[in-house]
Structure 1
Amino acid sequence: MLATVFLTTVLAAAPARSPATADDWLITGVTVIPTDTEEVWPQRDVRIRDGRIASIEAAAPKPRARGATIIDGRGKFLVPGFVDAHVHIATEAAIHARRDPVLATLPFPEDRSYERQILLSFLKAGVTGAANLGGNAAGDAALLQLRDDVAAGRLAGPQLFVGKRIDGPRDHVADAPDTPAPASTPEAPTTPADGAAAVREAARRGYDFIKPYQFLDRETYRAIVDTAQALRLPTTGHLPELDCAICADRAFVFAHPMTNIAHAEELARYAQTSDLSAADVDALTEAVVRARSGVTPTLITLKTIVLQYREHQAPAVPAGWETLVDPLTQRDWQPPRNRYLSAEFRAQPGMERLPAAYDFARVLTRALWKRAVPLTTGTDALMPGLLYGASLQQEMRELHAIGMSPLEVLRAASLNARRLFAASAGSGAVRRGQRADLVLLDADPLADIDNAARIAGVFVAGRWLPITRIDAELADLAARNATLESVLRAADAVR
Structure 2
Amino acid sequence: MKRCYLLLKTALIACTLPVYAQSVPGATTKTVCITHANVIDVIHNKTLPDQTIIIENDRIVMTGPSKKLQIPAGATTIDATGRFIMPGMTDAHIHFFQSGGLYTRPDALDLRHVYPYEKDQQWVKDHLNDLMARYLACGITTVADVGGPLRNFTIREQAAKDSLSTNAWVTGPLVSTYLPPNLDKNDPPIVKVTTPEEARALVRKQLPYKPDFIKIWYIVVPGQPAESTLHIVRAAIEESHAHSLKVAVHGTEYETAKLAVSAGADILVHSVDDKLFDNEMLQLLKSHQTVYIPTLTVMHGYKRAFTQQFDFPAHDLAYGDPFMLGTLTDLQHIDSSIAKFSYRQLRALHRVPSEEDTIMLKNLKLAQDAGINIVTGTDAGNIGTLHASSYFTELKAMQSAGLTNIEIIRAATINAAKGFGKDKDYGSVEKGKMADLLLLSKDPLQDLDALSHIETLIHRGKTIDAGKLLPVTPEILAQQQLNAYNARNIDAFLAPYSDSVIITDQATGQVIMKGKEQMRQRYSGLFEKAKNLHCQLVNRMVAGNTVIDQESVTGMGNKPLEAIAIYTIENGKIARVSFISPSKK
Fold match (TM-score > 0.5): yes
- What letter matches 2:193 in structure 1? P
> Is there any run of 5+ residues in structure 2 with no aligned partner, and where?
1-18, 107-111, 181-189, 221-228, 481-536, 542-548, 551-585
Distance 1:342 1:25, change over 3 A: farther
1:215 aligns with 2:219: yes
Question: For residues 21-36 of structure 1, what are the structure 2 equivalents within 5 Å?
Answer: 22-36=29-43
Residues 258 and 342 of structure 1: CA distance in aligned 2, closer, same or farther (over 3 Å): farther
Kept after mapping to 2: 8 A contact 1:318/1:390: no
Q: Structure 2 residue aligned with 1:115, among 113, 120, 128?
A: 128
By how many angstroms is 1:168 displaced?
3.9
Which of 63, 85, 92 is the matching residue for 1:85? 92
1:144 to partner: Cα distance: 2.0
Q: Where do residues 3-82 of structure 1 align in structure 2 (5 Å cutoff)? A: 4-7=22-25, 10=26, 22-60=29-67, 64-82=71-89
Which residue identity is paired with 2:153?
L
Moved more, 81-90 or 64-73: 64-73
Residue in 2 that maps onto 1:268: 273
Which range moves more in the overlay, 233-242 or 412-421? Answer: 233-242
Q: How does 1:88-99 map to 2 (within 5 A)?
A: 88-90=95-97
1:300 aligned onto 2:312: no
- Are the equivalent residues in 2 in contact too, given 1:125–1:455 (CA < 8 A)? yes
Which has the bigger relative contact order, CA under 8 A and spacing at least 6? 1
The letter for the 1-side match of 2:295 is: T
Cα drift, residue 366 of structure 1: 0.3
Partner of 2:469: helix, strand, or coil? helix
Give the match's secondary structure for 2:298: helix
**Equivalent position to 1:200, from 204, 220, 232:** 204
Contact 1:26 1:48 (C-alpha < 8 Å) held by counterparts: yes
Match of 1:256 among 252, 263, 269: 263
Using structure 2 for the length normalisation, give the TM-score. 0.65
Q: Root-mean-square deviation (CA), in Å?
A: 4.2
Retained in 2: the 8 A contact 1:306–1:355? no
Tell me the alpha carbon deviations over residues 358-408 of structure 1, each in whole angstroms, 9 at most, x when there is no partner: 011101110000001101111111334432222212222222222222111
Q: Distance in 1 between matches of 2:406 and 2:142?
A: 19
Q: What is the letter of the counterpart of residue 162 of structure 1?
A: V
1:22 is displaced (CA, Å) by 3.8
> What pairs with 1:217-366 in structure 2 (closer than 5 Å)?
217-239=229-251, 252-264=259-271, 267-269=272-274, 271=275, 280-305=277-302, 312-319=308-315, 321-322=317-318, 324-332=320-328, 334-335=330-331, 342-343=341-342, 355-366=354-365
Q: Look up the equivalent residue of 2:251 and give its one-letter code.
A: L
- Would you tell me which structure has more helix in proportion to its own residues? 1
Aligned residue type for 1:455? I
Gapped regions of structure 1 (runs ≥ 5): 12-20, 173-185, 243-247, 272-277, 491-495
Label 1:381 to 1:315 Cα distance change in 2 as closer, same or farther (>3 A). Answer: farther
Per-residue CA distance 1:463-485 (angstroms, 9 max, x = gap) = 221223224xx224974996997
Local SS of the residue matching 1:200: helix
Task: Name the structure 1 match of 2:495.
Answer: none
Change (3 A) 1:203 1:213: same
1:125 to 109, 132, 138: 138
Quick check: 1:30–1:77 contact (8 Å CA) kept in 2? yes
Query: CA separation of 1:54/1:343 partners in 2, compared to 1, >3 Å: closer, same or farther?
Result: same
CA distance in 2, matches of 1:54, 1:369: 33
Superposed counterparts of 1:358-437, under 5 Å: 358-423=357-422, 425-426=424-425, 428-437=427-436
Residue 415 of structure 1: how far off its partner (Å) = 0.6
Distance 1:354 1:199, change over 3 A: farther
> Is the deviation greater in 371-380 or in 317-326?
317-326
Structure with the higher strand share, 1 or 2 = 2
Could you say what secondary structure the match of 1:219 adopts?
helix
**Secondary structure of 2:374's match?**
coil
2:237 maps to amino acid: V
Residue 457 of structure 1 is matched in structure 2 by 456
1:163 Cα shift? 2.2
- Change in Cα spacing, 1:282 to 1:353, as seen in structure 2 (3 Å) is farther
1:268 partner SS: coil
CA distance in 2, matches of 1:331, 1:40: 42
Q: Distance in 2 between matches of 1:196 and 1:96?
A: 29
Show the 5 A alignment for 1:116-155: 116-135=129-148, 137=149, 140-141=150-151, 143-153=152-162
Compare CA radii of gyration and give the structure with the larger one: 2
